[in-house]
């Protein structure tokens, strides 16, 4: 079993060093570094130093476009959207919704600059974190994105009629295709730069997030590793079934398409008394055949009040026990 953890919330090197040593001693193999738009704008050299230190210590390093453009997972705002509102997703009522359009050329070019910065470090992979369409839309599919000018003109060119305001199968297919096209370009670019591509799906394979079929993305040759994050408490789902079925789906896809795989276990926002559920989730994933497990996130997110567990020490201790049992 290989273990990983996400690292965020600190950019002070002397503390980074201390943290990484602790994580190494605990038995982690992989570090997932959040690398937000804010980090890219103001901490570029700092991030290189941090990632390279992880690499020198012997960790495998995955780098996460955390919250980028509002289309990746993560508690980070998008400066790109703030400066370039016209690149945003527009809903069928004609309103901007707060996520970047997957067809935005400007955004894709900005992401490539970020990939260049990551490739200049000793990072091993880009960790494409929970790509999704805007989730602020209420009452999907009555309200949906994206119906911006770019999307309307591309849709009409492909389907031979104006993009409708009412959601239909063509719109659904068009959205899927937009995401696939985005990843084809981004992951090819990352690959050319010598980086692997690790893709993590939101745990609900659904049209409402825009990834209605994981397989369409897993098929891309440039994707090396696929996974998901069945956070049973965050999504309010039954633990065994949610973690079990996500494990099965990921294993099936990875085997059929010859990719590596991974799975995340929730180690944030755990209510008091539910700490032992992490062990159950781990046992289920292991039993299904998952061989790379990651935890979100470092120190059970004690330092991030929005997602901190009621008793972070106890959650982190549970993580430690899981790792100890396999050492």
Please identify, among the stretches 95-103, 133-141, 181-189, 309-317, the one whose residues bind Zn ion according to the rule CB under 5 A: 95-103
We find the least distance from the C-beta atom of residue 147 to Zn ion, in angstroms, to be 7
The residues facing 196 across adjacent strands are 125
Is 255 in contact with 215 (CB distance < 8 Å)?
A: no
Q: Which stretch binds Zn ion (CB under 5 A): 93-101, 221-229, 241-249, 268-276?
A: 93-101
> In the complex with Zn ion, which residue's Cβ is closer, 180 or 257?
180
Q: CA 218, 222, 226: angle at the middle one, nearest 5?
A: 40
Residue 31 or 146: the one with the smaller Cβ distance to Zn ion is 146
| Site stretch for Zn ion (CB under 5 A), options 98-106, 112-120, 218-226, 313-321 | 98-106
Q: State the nearest-atom distance from the C-beta of 166 to Zn ion, in Å.
A: 17
Q: What is the DSSP string of 184-230?
A: HHHHHHHHHTT-EEEEEE-SS-BGGGTBS-HHHHHT-TT--EEEE--
What are φ and ψ of residue 146, in 5° steps?
-115, 135
Shorter beta-carbon distance to Zn ion: residue 49 or 143: 143
Part in contact with Zn ion (CB under 5 A); list of ranges 80-88, 101-109, 261-269, 278-286 = 101-109
- In the complex, least distance from residue 145 CB atom to Zn ion, rounded to whole angstroms: 7
Closest approach of Cβ 231 to Zn ion, in Å?
28
Q: Shortest distance, CB of residue 84 to Zn ion, whole angstroms? A: 13
- Measured from the CB atom, the residue of 148 and 315 that comes closer to Zn ion is 148
Task: Answer whether 105's CB lies under 8 Å from 128's CB.
Answer: no
Question: Rounded CA gap, 211 and 216, in Å?
Answer: 9
- Give the separation between CA 125 and CA 190, rounded to whole angstroms: 8
Count Cβ atoms below 10 Å from residue 129 Cβ, excluding itself. Answer: 28
Residue placing its CB nearer to Zn ion in the complex, 108 or 150: 150
Nearer to Zn ion, 117 or 151 (CB): 151
Least spacing, CB of residue 154 vs Zn ion, in Å: 8
Cα–Cα separations (whole angstroms), residue 53 to 19, 20, 226, 266: 11, 9, 26, 26
Judged by CB under 5 A, the stretch of 27-35, 100-108, 267-275, 310-318 that binds Zn ion is: 100-108
Host H or E run for residue 55: helix 44-57
Shortest spacing between CB 109 and Zn ion, in angstroms:
16
What is the closest distance, in whole angstroms, from the C-beta atom of residue 150 to Zn ion in the complex?
5
Considering only residues 144 to 183 of the shown chain, the ones binding Zn ion according to CB under 5 A are 146, 148, 150-151
Q: Which of 98, 104, 101 is CA-nearest to residue 82?
A: 98
Binding to Zn ion (CB under 5 A) within 120-149 occurs at: 146, 148
With CB under 5 A as the rule, give the number of residues binding Zn ion. 5
Three-state secondary structure of 15-31: HHHHHHHHHHHHCCCEE
- Comparison of 103 and 284: residue with beta carbon closer to Zn ion: 103
Residue with tokens 């992951």: 187
Interface with Zn ion (CB under 5 A), residue from 30, 63, 81, 101 = 101
Q: With respect to Zn ion, which residue has the nearer C-beta, 84 or 245? A: 84
Written as six digits, the tokens of 288 are 């299904």
What is the DSSP pairing of strand 2-7 with strand 88-90? Answer: unpaired
User: What is the C-alpha separation between 93 and 111, in angstroms, rounded?
Assistant: 28
Q: Binding residues for Zn ion, per CB under 5 A? A: 101, 146, 148, 150-151
């Amino acid at each position: 079993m290989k273990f990983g953890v996400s690292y965020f919330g600190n950019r002070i090197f002397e503390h980074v060093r201390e943290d990484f040593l602790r994580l190494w001693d605990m038995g982690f193999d992989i570090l997932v570094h959040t690398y937000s738009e804010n980090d890219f704008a103001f901490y570029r050299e700092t991030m290189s130093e941090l990632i390279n230190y992880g690499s020198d210590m012997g960790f495998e390093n995955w780098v996460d476009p955390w919250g980028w453009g509002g289309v990746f997972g993560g508690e980070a705002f998008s400066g790109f959207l703030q400066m370039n509102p016209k690149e945003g997703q527009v809903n069928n009522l004609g309103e901007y919704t707060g996520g970047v359009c997957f067809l935005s050329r400007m955004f894709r070019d900005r992401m490539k600059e970020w990939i260049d910065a990551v490739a200049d470090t000793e990072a091993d992979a880009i960790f494409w974190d929970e790509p999704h369409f805007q989730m602020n839309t209420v009452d999907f599919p009555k309200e949906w994105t994206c119906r911006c000018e770019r999307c309307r003109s591309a849709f009409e060119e492909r389907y031979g009629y104006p993009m409708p305001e009412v959601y239909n199968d063509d719109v659904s297919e068009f959205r899927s295709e937009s995401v696939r096209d985005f990843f084809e370009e981004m992951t090819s670019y990352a690959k050319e730069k010598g980086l692997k591509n690790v893709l993590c799906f939101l745990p609900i394979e659904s049209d409402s997030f825009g990834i209605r079929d994981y397989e369409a993305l897993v098929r891309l040759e440039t994707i090396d590793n696929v996974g998901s994050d069945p956070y049973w408490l965050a999504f309010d789902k039954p633990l065994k079934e949610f973690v079990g079925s996500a494990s099965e789906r990921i294993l099936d896809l990875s085997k059929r398409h010859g990719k590596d795989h991974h799975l995340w276990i929730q180690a944030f926002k755990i209510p008091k008394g539910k700490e032992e559920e992490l062990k159950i989730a781990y046992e289920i994933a292991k039993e299904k055949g998952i061989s790379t497990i990651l935890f979100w996130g470092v120190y059970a997110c004690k330092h991030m009040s929005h997602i901190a567990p009621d008793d972070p020490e106890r959650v982190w201790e549970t993580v430690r026990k899981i790792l100890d049992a396999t050492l």
